[in-house]
Amino acid sequence: MRVLSAFLLLLVTAFTAGCATSTPQSRIDANRGAFSEYPSDVRRNIREGRVEVGYTAEMAEMALGKPGRKLSRRDETNEESEVWVYYRNRPRLSIGLAIGSGGYRSTSTGISMSSTPDADMETMRLILRDGHVVAVETVTR
């Protein structure tokens, strides 16, 4: 019974930690000094999770968080850009349980959980050159 109780406690703790997400406000709080230096319209957009052309990479990450993927690409003029891809994350619960014995009165248990983005749930791409947003591409379905 104690093993089951410990397992359930671990499961709830892991699930709760996995559901914690970064918000614009938490990112603002972590970067209060930089945020206070931005113009008022930029601060308003960051609070609302919006990005516009001309924003720095720092502003974009403060508004939207870390991208799901970062890619590099060259256009037809051979100019290199960085592409930040954002996804609508759906938590995918994956639980594994293992019980083993290593000898006399020795057992172990394990649990694993993950949340992975779906490629078909892409919502936005930011195109950056020289550390600034040059295009915002939204995906509608």
- Non-local (6+) Cβ contacts of 12 within 8 A are none
123 in helix, strand or coil? strand
Tens digits of residue pLDDT in 86-98: 998 655 555 565 5
In the predicted structure, residue 118 carries a pLDDT above the cut 80:
no
Distance, in Å, from the CA atom of 66 to the CA atom of 86, rounded to the nearest integer, reads: 8
Per-residue confidence (pLDDT) for residue 114, from 0 to 100: 57
Distance, in Å, from the CA atom of 90 to the CA atom of 70, rounded to the nearest integer, reads: 19
46-59 mean pLDDT: 97
Per-residue confidence (pLDDT) for residue 17, from 0 to 100: 47
Going by pLDDT thresholds of 50, 70 and 90, the confidence category of residue 16 is very low
What does DSSP assign to residue 83?
Answer: E
